[in-house]
Homo-oligomer: A and B are copies of this chain.
Amino acid sequence: MSTATPLPAYNGYEYFVVSSPAEGVAHVEINRPKKLNAFSQPVWLEFGRVFDKLSADADVRAVVLSGAGDRAFTAGLDVQAGSQDGHIFGAETDVARKAKGLRAHIEEFQGSIGAMEKCEKPVICVLHGVSLGLAIDIACCADIRICASNTRFAVKEVDIGIPADIGTLARLPKIVGSHSWVKDVCMTARDFSATEAREVGFVSRVLGSKAEAVGAAVQLASLLAEKSPVAVQGTKELINYGRDHGTVDSLRYTAVWNSVVVQSEDIVKGLTSGLTKTKPKYAKL
């Protein structure tokens, strides 16, 4: 996104470039193109920090995530780094003691990636090119997923001898429309195409190229950025809550949540703009 304005507050990151292609929109790029944007521990820790910051940054109203470069959204775990991981291949030999370290390691990893789901701003994930393993865990934490037609998807973890553990297996069964398909792609680790991803509802749109997909995502993000952030961010929270809870609990939580929201100025602006056919301007959040 060459025309995007840099966001100075996000200059200090090593693996991520954050720019602003439109008002209120942040575009996060995974910036390790020579490694196909693969993730080692420093990368995922930084990923978590970036999204924690975006969540609290009132200047940002919607986020687009993509990979840098033409080849990959991300190839997933940096296998070379992984094969030197002390938690897995370190000196500890007692099974329970090693397990404690591994548990902490996995939870830290889950927490860093999950920061994107916890980020209170809507996140549009643009998948393109190589999008393997961790790419799916990450995409599952986004709100809206769109992709380029050349995307090569795979839940790849079975091919390194483990079940996916950063969130795919927890979230995917609840966000697409065919459990049979979920088991198929997660157990075989086979590639699936943009078309297939669209058919099962994993992505909601397929664009011709990465550029088009990023463009469409920025446009969608801009639209979200003009809406009431009280409404948009609350919608994110309540849908995520609804996915994970029964109806009785969800309705109760919703009522408490909106007993605050309805006291905001945004409902006044929203109602007024509807009645007067003018475009409302909402304050930051």
A257 adjacent to B170 (CB under 8 Å): no
A230 adjacent to B170 (CB under 8 Å): no
A180 to chain B, nearest CB (A): 4
Using Cβ atoms and an 8 Å threshold, which residues of chain B touch A232? 158, 187
Q: Known: A178-B177, A274-B160. Contact between A242 and B171, CB under 8 A?
A: yes
Q: Known: A177-B201, A201-B180. Contact between A163 and B106, CB under 8 A?
A: no
A161-193 interface mask toward B, CB cutoff 8 Å, 1 = contact, 0 = none?
A: 111110101111111111111111011111000
Using Cβ atoms and an 8 Å threshold, which residues of chain B touch A103? 255-256, 259
A285 adjacent to B100 (CB under 8 Å): yes
| Total copies of this chain within the assembly | 6
Which chain B residue lies CB-closest to A170? B250
Q: Known: A227-B188, A230-B96. Contact between A235 and B175, CB under 8 A?
A: no
CB of A29 within 8 A of chain B?
no
Using Cβ atoms and an 8 Å threshold, which residues of chain B touch A243? 173-174, 179, 247
Whole-angstrom CA separation of A54 from B41 in the bound complex: 23
Whole-angstrom CA separation of A159 from B273 in the bound complex: 9
Q: Known: A255-B103, A271-B160, A283-B94. Contact between A242 and B183, CB under 8 A?
A: no
CB of A86 within 8 A of chain B?
no
A285 adjacent to B97 (CB under 8 Å): yes
Majority-rule SS of A interface residues: helix
Whole-angstrom CA separation of A13 from B263 in the bound complex: 33
B242 adjacent to A244 (CB under 8 Å): no
A178 adjacent to B180 (CB under 8 Å): no
Determine which of B79, B102, B246, B280 lies in contact with A271 in the assembled complex, contact meaning CB atoms within 8 Å: B79
CB of A268 within 8 A of chain B?
yes
Whole-angstrom CA separation of A212 from B246 in the bound complex: 35
Whole-angstrom CA separation of A285 from B11 in the bound complex: 39
A232-258 interface mask toward B, CB cutoff 8 Å, 1 = contact, 0 = none?
A: 111111110111111111111111111
CB of A1 within 8 A of chain B?
no
B267 adjacent to A228 (CB under 8 Å): no
Whole-angstrom CA separation of A270 from B245 in the bound complex: 35
List the 3 closest pairs (A to B, CB-CB), nearest first: A177-B177, A178-B201, A161-B270
Q: Which residues of A contact B (CB under 8 A)?
A: 56, 79-80, 82-83, 87-88, 94-100, 102-104, 106-107, 110, 114, 117, 120, 122, 142-146, 157-165, 167, 169-184, 186-190, 200-204, 220, 223-224, 227-228, 230-239, 241-271, 274-275, 280, 282-285
